[in-house]
Structure 1
Amino acid sequence: MKSSMYRLVFLLPALLPALAAAQGGPPPAVVRVAEVRLAELAPSISVPGTVISRNDASLSAEVDGQLLWVAEVGAEIPAGEPVARIEDALRLLQREEFRGIVASLEAREGFLRREADRLARLAAENNAAKNRLDEVESDLESAASDLAVARSRLRQAELQLERTRVRAPFTGIVTQRMSTPGEHARAGDEIVRLVDPDMLEIVARAPLTSLRHVSAGSTLAVQGERRSGSGVIRTLVPFGDTQSHMFELRIDVDAADWRVGESVRVAVPSAAPEEVLAVPRDALVLRRDGASVYRITAEGTAERINVIPGLGAGDLVGITGPLAPGDRVIIRGAERLREGQPLKIVEG
């Protein structure tokens, strides 16, 4: 009795397909589908590129002095905020000195202006000497000139004081400190490197033969080590050097997908686009006897169609075979399909 039960247990897996066939064939396969469509695809070459920030600056001191504070590496600094401070005690004193000179000269100019007005009224009534009026007016012009010079020097002192703060020209992250607090900085010495992580682009170089097939605004496929995406050509330099015969591309990309310094490959068109039948790459089933796709028949079953793959661009690949635009092909679940097998199509 026990030996019969053991034999039954071992025979069940072998009997299940036969039982399924007796009840009408294999169960429906769960698949996802997409439509065959006409698309303009172009052959392309893959060129190396690097993700950079459009705002990447080494910020320098504008005045001499001892560094009191420098922002730490990794700190995010808003635009207009300081990334470093330079000792400012002497410049504060200079500012106060010139403020006092300006105040004194303003008082003198005001007195002479009032005196000139008074003498002018008296001269109109023949009650004041004309030469006295001329003398006061001359002193007034001299005082006004001295005041203008003093105000200019005050403004220079204020500018020098302001320059003791090295400020961020854009919002960014400090990626390097070239100087540390306590060091004496001279005008022109580099203090920090600031990088904007939100204004990214790819710089790449492609053969001049591709120049006629790209333009500003074109979308190119981008492949990184762990992700893929696309970018839009912001600008290009339509000249090549005499050695490499390459031209430069600047490609805008989404900062959420890429990081500064990342190495990528960019697909650059090498010929004019052609209109071809195209399917998603996931629709291709590659086997030893060639490539094929599974088409959905009117009865809702899978039909294997042999195709010849052609041009590829992004997620699409051109094909040659007995298919037509609007045909539905399987893009998920085709690996173990058998021709004529019923299907259960799911969305997404």
Structure 2
Amino acid sequence: MQSLGAQNTLAQGNESAAKSRRKPRKLWILRALIFVLPVVVLVAAIGGTVAMSAFAPEPEETEDPIKALPVLTTRAQTGSVTLTVKAQGEVQPRTEINIVTEVSGRITYMSPSFIEGGRFSRGDLLIQIDPAEYKLRVIQARANVSQADTVLAREKSEAELARMDWADLGTGGTPTPLTLREPQMAEAAARLEAAKAQLAEAELQLSRTNIRAPFHGRVTTRLVDAGEFVGANNRLGDIYATDIMDVRLPLSQSDLRQAGLYLGYEAGGDTTVPVTLSANVAGQYTEWEGIIARTDSRYDSQSRVLHAYAEVRQPFGVDASQKAPLAPGLYVEADIAGPTLDNVVTIPRAALRGDDQVYVANDDGTLTIKTVEVLSSERTQVVIGSGLRAGDATITSPIRGVADGMKIEVVEPTAAGAGE
């Protein structure tokens, strides 16, 4: 019995050992399948793709025709053109002064026109300073003149008597100046002249109590009121003349060339350069005609431009009742008329690309980029000096990605586009 039990135990041990050896083998096989199977699937997929590509039919190659870009063109024209230079500036009166007292005193009268915005004429009384004290000085000076005149007359009489006495004595010889009272007469004459000078000074001071307008103009500011005491050299207000207005216009080198102006230019004779000033005044477009009167004697050190002065006469004249006057402080645009050029090429402003390029449509349906010399560029028209011929079809429609020689197709504008 013991022998049989031992055998059973030995058999169970051998079976358990066999099972233990089979478990690691199954784990290795499972792990190998996990790593190898994806690789096999990936290789199979790649192989299938390569095989399909190798046996697939080749696609047919087709060439898309290059489409011509539709454009609008305008023919370049030739003719006579008057160059115009545009500039901007502020209107300033040519004459503007401060009203300053020359005598002291209390203001007894002030003209109703002497107020901000007031208008006056040459010779109008603007302000009067109390003249009572200065009238007394004039009366006293006149009395001194009369007294000195009397003394001189007496000296002349005594000098005549002295000459007669010398003649009656009959002593002969030449009388001395003192005998003839010549020094006394000269002294009396000098005192008379001094008295007359004092009278003239007193009358001058009296006249200065009345401050009159030196020209036709308007009042900018008033700094005093009636009844106020003012001293000599006190500023009473500011006025300006309305006969001439100036506009200072900055001009570049190209502007000077187009307008025919230069450093130190002065209007006169046949060299007059017309200018038209314009501005929107109270919602109404208004123009004033003038001339370029002169240019500065030096260039501006910061902007490197030369300033020209436009002159407008009588800006507050008879036309002021029909249109707004050209008043100081108004900002205006100036159109300066330059020389007239004959047989020059002109194109629409839309045909100019950048500063100096024009796109031209050729007869063979291609585009050519030309570099031109621009003499003048305005809002609607460009004047070409060189680089373009009359009759060239310039392209006016916008183009992107332009290249020299690209295919284009000239189209006619529609009725709506032509109307615009």
CA distance 1:267–1:101, change in 2 (3 Å) = same
Deviation for aligned residue 1:176: 2.1
User: Over aligned residues, Cα RMSD in angstroms?
Assistant: 4.0
Mapped contact 1:312–1:318 kept (Cα < 8 A): yes
The one of 56, 75, 80 equivalent to 1:38 is 80
Correspondence for 1:261 among 323, 329, 338:
329
Q: For residues 256 and 288 of structure 2, what CA distance do their matches in structure 1 show?
A: 22
- Please list the CA deviations of residues 158-189 of structure 1 after superposition, one character each: whole Å capped at 9, or x if unmatched: 11111111222112122321211122222222
Q: CA deviation at 1:315?
A: 11
> Distance in 1 between the 2:237 and 2:329 partners?
18
Is 2:318 the counterpart of 1:275? no
Return the match for 1:148 from 188, 193, 208. 193
Distance (Å, rounded) in 1 between the aligned partners of 2:307 and 2:225:
37
- With normalisation by structure 1, the TM-score equals 0.63
Structure 2: stretches of 5+ with no match in the other structure: 1-77, 267-271, 320-324, 351-374, 392-414
Quote the residue 1:82 is aligned against: 125
Residue 148 of structure 1 aligns with an amino acid whose one-letter code is E
Deviation at 1:107, TM superposition (A): 1.1
The residue aligned with 1:239 is 298
Amino acid at match of 1:233: I
What's 1:65 paired with? 105
Greater fraction of residues in strand: 1
Structure 1 Cα separation of the partners of residues 177 and 294 of structure 2? 71
Match of 2:214 among 158, 166, 169: 169
> Which of 238, 251, 268 does residue 193 from structure 1 map onto?
238
Cα offsets for 1:35-74 (capped at 9, x unmatched): x9623425x3x33211222222221111111122223324
Tell whether the 8 Å contact from 2:95 to 2:241 is kept in structure 1 after alignment.
Answer: yes
The residue correspondences of 1:101-112 to structure 2 (distance < 5 A) are: 101-112=144-155
Tell me the equivalent position of 2:157: 114
* Unaligned segments of structure 1, at least 5 residues: 1-35, 287-309, 323-335, 340-348
Assess, with a 3 A threshold, how the Cα gap between structure 1 residues 231 and 190 changes in structure 2: closer, same or farther: same
More displaced stretch, 112-121 vs 97-106: 112-121
1:248 corresponds, among 307, 314, 331, to: 307
229 and 37 in structure 1: CA distance in 2 versus 1, 3 angstrom threshold: farther
Deviation of the 1:77 alpha carbon? 2.6
Question: Does the residue aligned with 1:118 lie in a helix, a strand or coil?
Answer: helix
Report the CA distance between 1:102 and its aligned residue.
Answer: 0.6
Q: CA deviation at 1:278?
A: 9.4
Higher percent of residues as helix: 2
Structure 1 residues 128 and 136: CA distance shift in structure 2, 3 A = farther
Whether the 8 Å contact between 1:174 and 1:194 is mirrored in structure 2 is yes
- Which structure would you say has the larger RCO, counting Cα contacts within 8 Å and 6 or more residues apart? 1
Residue in 1 that maps onto 2:90: 50
How many residue pairs match? The answer is: 265
CA deviation after TM superposition for structure 1 residue 321, in Å:
6.5
Q: Does the CA-based 8 Å contact 1:120-1:133 persist in structure 2? A: no
Distance 2:158 2:91 in 1: 70
Cα drift, residue 230 of structure 1: 4.0
Q: Percent identity among equivalent residues? A: 21
Cα distance, 1:228–1:315 mapped onto 2, change above 3 Å: farther
Q: Deviations over 1:291-319 (max 9, x none)?
A: xxxxxxxxxxxxxxxxxxx9567999869
- SS state at 1:176 partner: strand
Q: CA, structure 1 residues 120+141, in 2 after alignment: closer, same or farther (shift >3 Å)?
A: same
Of the candidates 274, 284, 287, which is equivalent to residue 219 of structure 1?
274
User: Contact 1:39/1:278 (CA < 8 Å) preserved in 2?
Assistant: no
Once residues 188 and 314 of structure 1 are traced to their aligned partners in structure 2, the CA distance between those partners, rounded to angstroms, is: 53
Output the CA distance in 2 between the equivalents of 1:114 and 1:314. Answer: 91
Superposed counterparts of 1:280-291, under 5 Å = none
SS of the residue corresponding to residue 101 of structure 1 reads: helix
Check if 1:93 corresponds to 2:136: yes
**Structure 1: which amino acid aligns with 2:87?**
V
Alignment of structure 1 residues 269-348 onto 2, 5 Å: 274-276=341-343, 311=376
Mark the structure with the bigger radius of gyration: 2
Structure 2 distance, partners of 1:112, 1:127, is 23
Contact 1:37 1:277 survives alignment (8 Å): yes
TM-score (normalised: structure 2): 0.53
Matches of 1:76 and 1:127, distance apart in 2: 77
Equivalent-residue separation in structure 2 for 1:278 and 1:51 (angstroms): 36
Change in 2 beyond 3 A, CA 1:146/1:238: closer
